[in-house]
Amino acid sequence: MYQEVILDHYKHPHGRGLRDGDAEVHHVNPTCGDEITLRVKYEGTRIADVSYEGQGCSISQASASVLNDLLVGKDVTEAQRIQGTFLELMQSKGRIEPDDAMEEILEDAVAFAGVSKYPARVKCALLSWMAWKDATAQALGESEPAERKSA
């Protein structure tokens, strides 16, 4: 479960710290007390930044770091595809063995495949991703209400 790449992200998180953003959310995992405050900054539909501050286990903190790596610079549609793929992997209960196609989309995030076997920890891995989804809905919802309505 604790892949080297997860421990690396945990010990040296990428993009940590709160910076300017269009929307901010605070998510908690009530069963274990993991917390994250996350901001997203958009330039049109391109993700200019995802910044965050949080406390929690190595899985939740490393996952936020991986998210930052993967999503910053991407268009929201592409980011949603990545998020969807990560969600699918995490909900697979260990049944999905990531193939090359999945690895291409998820990069470092495939290291979390082992976590999906531990139901109690899946929420830790998904905490920042759910926060990002929520923040994105708020950020884009406010600036482009018509588009959100039709979605």
Partner 1 sequence: MTQLPGLLDTEAIRKDFPALDRVLHDGKKLVYLDNAATSQKPRQVLDALTEYYERHNANVHRGVHVLAEEATALYEGARDKVAEFINAPSRDEVIFTKNASESLNLVANMLGWADEPYKVDHETEIVITEMEHHSNIVPWQLLSQRTGAKLKWFGLTDDGRLDLSNIDEVITEKTKIVSFVLVSNILGTHNPVEAIVRRAQEVGALVLIDASQAAPHMPLDVQALQADFVAFTGHKMCGPTGIGVLWGRQELLEDLPPFLGGGEMIETVSMSSSTYAPAPHKFEAGTPPIAQAVGLGAAVDYLQSIGMEKVQAHEHAITSYAVKRLLEVPDLKIIGPVTAEDRGAAISFTLGDIHPHDVGQVLDEQGIAVRVGHHCARPVCLRYGIPATTRASFYLYSTPAEVDALVEGLEHVRNFFG
Taking a C-beta distance cutoff of 8 angstroms, is the pair 69, 15 a contact?
Answer: yes
Name which of 35 and 144 has its Cβ closer to partner 1: 35
- Kindly state the smallest distance separating residue 77's Cβ from partner 1, in Å: 33
Q: Which of 38, 59, 90, 126 binds partner 1 (CB under 8 A)?
A: 59
Name which of 2 and 12 has its Cβ closer to partner 1: 2
Taking a C-beta distance cutoff of 8 angstroms, is the pair 57, 76 a contact?
Answer: no
Residue written as tokens 């949603």?
A: 80
Please state, in angstroms and rounded to a whole number, the distance separating the CA atoms of residues 150 and 119. Answer: 35
Q: Which of 33, 44, 73, 94 binds partner 1 (CB under 8 A)?
A: 33
Name which of 76 and 124 has its Cβ closer to partner 1: 124
How do beta strands 23-29 and 34-43 pair? antiparallel
The interface with partner 1 within residues 116-145 (CB under 8 A) comprises 118, 121, 124
Q: Tokens standing for 34?
A: 């993991």
Stretch of 27-35, 72-80, 106-114, 125-133 lying at the interface with partner 1 (CB under 8 A): 27-35
Name which of 37 and 58 has its Cβ closer to partner 1: 58
User: Which residues here bind partner 1, judged by CB under 8 A?
Assistant: 1-2, 7, 31-35, 55-59, 118, 121, 124
